[in-house]
Structure 1
């Protein structure tokens, strides 16, 4: 008989036939909080708030499996395949690792086709003396074990997942076995095996071939297995039968039939640390009893079964069917949860129109532009607004000079009347002279001490010329913030001259957001021949600065 380290794990050959299988659908939605158990909801909340990069592990279903197949004992007596059945319960602890409780029953038999004579140490053969016997047995095996199961192919880099699953397992448990031997005939006497192994022929006694031996044994043995197999002294028992702890291991694969049902094919080898599964502790080699060995028996169970995933609608399928990379790949391909940075588009001239859409990419700073980045020319006189000192030049007054100022032709008639009206409406001459400019720091709207001193001096000139109107002019209006800042500064100057220097507000012309000056400067000038209100509402009150 071959050494037991070469076990008959022929059932594993089916693993080589791993053809292509249809791809199953994608994984669960990681944003679905209904599949997250309460103890992991804090992690889910952190993940959804983009404060933690890893999604919480979902609640997943249990698996219950039933199976049936072939079993045999590898021991001192030549085995024959018997039948077996099993039940397991499995729960995933991760995508690769799961725990399984496994329960099996095996009905196995064995029969030697070579006779043995060294049976005196086995009490099952006490009825025999000085003759050959044929070792045989029938063993009922019950085992239970807790196994660690490792999924080998659900982490996939080039597809979501497939419809088959390969796994390896190993575990510890216990084996109860009941071994019987067919040592006596129906009358309770020993069998007569004297004519089984040899026959008389023309040249004397000859050894029979296996076919003849099997036929003769079938005719002699009654198959009742009435005698207890050999047991160790002090053998531990459970439920009245020998009990031994066991180590088991094996390989298997599952084929997915639906979301909840799969077909399983598996082979398991169990080592129960006993040499008495076959009811015999002594093995004989060859046709003589000159060699004796003692080693441990083991048994093998090749099975096919159905597995059922059980659990409510708030549980996902068992994790060993899922690819943990599925979420990451889908998020990279089509982000739903990923926190993406805002795109930064180049705008070299800072006019608010990005370079790829800017038809005039070198517009001067502060110049108003249209939606294509081109400098505005409101009156169409050919001079852009940021250079045009006369924003609205009537068509009849064009062409204009380099500053955008046109020259309107006089009407063909009424020149004398126009001159007379001019003399009638001419305003009295103003001799107020040159007035100072007030400078503000940064974006401040507060008058400095120097500015107040200048305004005090200017107030004396203004009071000395009561017929003069004074224009107070602020500059810059590229955006809302600049417009409001210009208004605040003009307002600060007029307010000071009215409240501190006692000049009537009616004498001022309020002008802000003008072009052609420094943004930080407010000019005072003779406004006798200018038109404009003495108060203007703030253009953007929400942007006002307080002095």
Structure 2
């Protein structure tokens, strides 16, 4: 077959494969059905690699040549020879996989008369190679579709090339004695490639690519080409099959953006979000009800025992108006009531109305004398020691608040809480516990 005819045939075949691949890709990319994993659950963005099919096998066939663009070549004329390959691939993420390649075939190089660079006009070399490569999905022309259908990729790896030089002809037509005889030469090589893959189905793909193999030696063509490493190319087409159950998607074709969208807008998730919004609204309403103070006296309605107090009234912790003694009634206050103990209900720091006369008399004396006072709170023995300490401080603060609101200088009133310590009666009886729920004054 003439070179020109072969070139046209190869070009037409390549174009036909491209058209067929794009047609399949466009057909497949319009599908929006959701595939579920083997356990019946929709794949999740961070659900793990076990949700997908990841192991593939592929075969290829194509043409080899010793010409590589942008480098120094042993020969300068394009000469087509057959190459063939197979590989195993493990997809590790949406964009990255590891691939074990086998490639075999023949490279035939010809140099036109008078232009040879290394003193040879023609060579033929058979080779077999194996390499481990990293494959990166570079981009997808179908990124606007929910399902990827055309992926561009690049690869690079390292392996072992075993080749045998079959013939070597010098520029003057002399057939040269082969430098390695009939032996296979083993040298490291680095394959670097680019390709495009078309999705024919979730398990089958059409694979087209171009690989340059850089052999870490100088004798692939039968001539010593130092300092230029030997090299050859492989242009191929092939099919790839991904193993696994149909209930799982092929990881290579999953669009992670679409997957994330589906996960965020999952119907069950949206229902949970709406239900959560409802619960938050209920909590906000409950908090608003707890804070509601209809009469504006500073005591929430749920704790206000005297609702509807006039605006500006001074109230106690229960929302009831505090009545302060008038100056002309202070003298009439019975002696001995000032600085008497203030009693409290069980587990409460709310002042009793019966305590007001004692507090009023105490306030009057403090305002008149300018003296200071220490307000000591106590509790009975029910509950924990820590709770009783806090309760005793609250009782002492209730007394201080009353005194300060009645005109006593806040700096003159010190507060301490002693909890269930220092009882004045037996905590084993209810009568004794009642006496121990108290506030005492210590004059300074």
Return the TM-score normalized by structure 2.
0.51
- Specify the SS of the correspondent of 1:327: helix
Partner of 1:81: 80
- Where does 1:270-281 land on structure 2 (aligned, <5 Å)? 270-281=213-224
Note the residue ranges of structure 2 that are not aligned, 5 or more in a row. 1-9, 68-72, 289-293, 296-343, 355-444
Partner of 1:54: 46
Alignment RMSD: 5.2
Contact 2:203–2:250 under 8 Å retained in 1: no
- For residues 179 and 170 of structure 1, the distance between their equivalents in structure 2, rounded to whole angstroms, comes to 26
Contact 2:148–2:254 under 8 Å retained in 1: no
Deviation for aligned residue 1:346: 8.0
- Specify the SS of the correspondent of 2:163: strand
Please say if 1:301 is aligned against 2:234: yes
Change (3 A) 1:258 1:16: closer
- Where does 1:257-296 land on structure 2 (aligned, <5 Å)? 257-281=200-224, 294-296=227-229
Partner of 1:110: 109
Alignment partner of 1:152 out of 124, 134, 138? 138
Note the residue ranges of structure 1 that are not aligned, 5 or more in a row. 1-9, 37-43, 48-52, 123-133, 185-190, 194-220, 283-292, 353-363, 366-439, 451-547
Change (3 A) 1:28 1:167: same
Change (3 A) 1:333 1:269: same
Contact 1:154–1:320 under 8 Å retained in 2: no
Deviation for aligned residue 1:252: 0.8
Deviation for aligned residue 1:34: 6.6
Contact 2:96–2:134 under 8 Å retained in 1: yes
Partner of 1:137: 123
Instruction: Give CA-to-partner distance per residue, 1:355-401, whole Å, 9 cap, x none.
Output: xxxxxxxxx99xxxxxxxxxxxxxxxxxxxxxxxxxxxxxxxxxxxx
Contact 1:264–1:305 under 8 Å retained in 2: yes
Change (3 A) 1:92 1:35: farther
Alignment partner of 2:252 out of 302, 312, 320? 320
- For residues 69 and 349 of structure 1, the distance between their equivalents in structure 2, rounded to whole angstroms, comes to 73
- For residues 92 and 283 of structure 2, the distance between their equivalents in structure 1, rounded to whole angstroms, comes to 54
Contact 2:84–2:105 under 8 Å retained in 1: yes
Deviation for aligned residue 1:294: 4.6
- For residues 150 and 272 of structure 1, the distance between their equivalents in structure 2, rounded to whole angstroms, comes to 22
Instruction: Give CA-to-partner distance per residue, 1:111-139, whole Å, 9 cap, x none.
Output: 222158998xx8xxxxxxxxxxx621111
- For residues 253 and 61 of structure 1, the distance between their equivalents in structure 2, rounded to whole angstroms, comes to 18
- For residues 349 and 149 of structure 1, the distance between their equivalents in structure 2, rounded to whole angstroms, comes to 57
Instruction: Give CA-to-partner distance per residue, 1:225-266, whole Å, 9 cap, x none.
Output: 8x653349xxxx9xx400110111111111111221111101
- Specify the SS of the correspondent of 2:49: coil
- Specify the SS of the correspondent of 1:108: strand
Contact 2:60–2:237 under 8 Å retained in 1: yes
In terms of Rg, which structure is larger? Answer: 1
- Where does 1:527-542 land on structure 2 (aligned, <5 Å)? none
- For residues 126 and 197 of structure 2, the distance between their equivalents in structure 1, rounded to whole angstroms, comes to 28
Alignment partner of 2:154 out of 165, 168, 179? 168
Contact 1:155–1:323 under 8 Å retained in 2: no
- For residues 83 and 115 of structure 2, the distance between their equivalents in structure 1, rounded to whole angstroms, comes to 29
- Specify the SS of the correspondent of 1:328: helix
Partner of 2:97: 98
Partner of 1:330: 262
- For residues 71 and 56 of structure 1, the distance between their equivalents in structure 2, rounded to whole angstroms, comes to 40
Contact 1:63–1:310 under 8 Å retained in 2: yes
Contact 1:63–1:89 under 8 Å retained in 2: yes
Contact 2:53–2:243 under 8 Å retained in 1: no
Change (3 A) 1:27 1:322: farther
